[in-house]
Amino acid sequence: MSDVADAALVDDEAAVVRITASGICGSDLHIYDGHGFSPTTGYTLGHEAVGIVEEVGPAVHTVRPGDRVLVTASVACGRCSPCGHGHITLCETGESGCWGLGHALPGTQAEALAVPAADRNLVPLPEALSDAAGIVLTDNLPTAWYGARRGRCGPGDTVAVVGLGPVGLLSVLSAQVMGAARVLAIDLVPGRRAAAAALGAEPIDAEDVRAAVTEATGGRGVDVALEAVGADATVTLALDLAGREGRVSIVGVNQSMDFRMRMVLAQLKCLEIHIGLCSVQHELPTLMRLATAGRIDPSVVVTHTMDLAEGPDAYALFASRAEGVGKILLRA
Ligand code: NAD
Ligand code: ZN
Ligand code: ZN
């Protein structure tokens, strides 16, 4: 924890949001694992926040002071056409970022946040949705939905989810809402498999996951494999679990520079492979409607609420993947 400069309006299109809650994401762990949670990291961590709008620039039209909002984890530049339509990954100015907050911009695990292009990056949060639901809607649920949507999970499909952190558990829910008949749940941690089972998935409690999935699918493999870890071994596993003409969709953040792939197997199976970063703004309209209607509950993955001042302990707890620890909400 350290003191940083107060948040201020950067231009006429910006807003300042008083943060009431922020979230710790698996993506923060890539930084936490790599550099440690210390003042030398050099920036405020976090890219998931809900709060109250405190101040808006004169060119902001969709939110006003006092509004309860969520801050999208992907940050639109506010000037190019793709960003205007929610396709942050297609930004033409190079000033947006799917990982803008906590990287190019100051992070959300703080008391106040300066948000650029407020009309594009702030979304009013209906009263029916809790802060916990709002936090999950800033990043984890859109990411899971994006992965399942690109994998074209559909009615009657058998889907495997590899990695059952918050993103993986929300992938289970997304596949179910899209009509999957069966969702097979894979993780090294038994408690995480149990959490997926509680959501209606079939946990694969076997040493040899490939053999167990082959058996569970009558030798056919799965229609869709969703990868939500970010390791080479889990990408390989997802590629192996997919059956003929299967779809593999990867959202785990993978920084590998020399991934070795058994091309011949992928080609023989005629696999369809998707990988990418989520443009939260593109997925949110659908998810806000589903969440408000009670068709999907984003808050199910939140297991702990702690104070922002307990940040270092919260990181250690989340990174430990201890029994019963899922998404952690930090209250400002
Ligand atoms: P997390 O760290 O809580 O979850 C990862 C899970 O994978 C854990 O439950 C862990 O036990 C499991 N795991 C690790 N190695 C495994 C293995 N060999 N086999 C099976 N399971 C294994 O993280 P999270 O918050 O759920 O995020 C998941 C991933 O999604 C991260 O890589 C994160 O960076 C990424 N992410 C991507 C986007 C995007 O836009 N693409 C957005 C948000 C998060
Ligand atoms: Zn995230
Ligand atoms: Zn842009």
Going along the chain from its start, the domains and CATH numbers come out as 15-139+279-331 (3.90.180.10), 143-275 (3.40.50.720)
Q: Measuring from atom 25 of ligand 1, which residue has the nearest CA? A: 26
Question: Per-residue pLDDT for 23 more than 70?
Answer: yes
pLDDT tens digits along 210-244: 999 999 999 999 999 999 999 999 999 999 999 99
- Pocket lined around ligand 1, Cβ cut-off 6 Å: 25-27, 29-30, 98, 139, 143, 162-168, 186-189, 192, 228-231, 233-234, 251-253, 277-278, 321
pLDDT tens digits along 64-120: 999 999 999 999 988 899 999 999 999 998 877 665 555 545 676 667 889 999 999
pLDDT tens digits along 64-77: 999 999 999 999 98
Q: What proportion of the chain, given as a percentage, has pLDDT over 70?
A: 90
189 HSE (CA, 13 A, CB side)? 18
**Quick one: which atom of ligand 1 is closest to the CA of 166?**
26
Task: Kindly compute the dihedral angle of the four CA atoms of residues 226, 228, 229, 234, in this order, to the nearest 10 degrees.
Answer: 0
Distance 117 CA to ligand 1 centre (A): 29
Buried b / exposed e along 38-67 (16+ C-beta atoms within 10 A): eeebeebbbbbbbbebbbbbeebeebeeeb
44 vs 298: CA distance, rounded Å: 25
**Quick one: which atom of ligand 1 is closest to the CA of 251?**
41
Q: 3-state class of 226 per DSSP?
A: strand
Distance 99 CA to ligand 3 centre (A): 13
**Quick one: which atom of ligand 1 is closest to the CA of 233?**
18
Q: Measuring from atom 35 of ligand 1, which residue has the nearest CA? A: 252
Taking ligand 3, which is a single-atom ion, which protein residues have CB atoms under 5 Å away? 77, 80, 83, 91, 93, 96
Pick the ligand that lies closest to the CA of residue 97. 3
For residue 39, what are its two tokens?
A: 């003042």
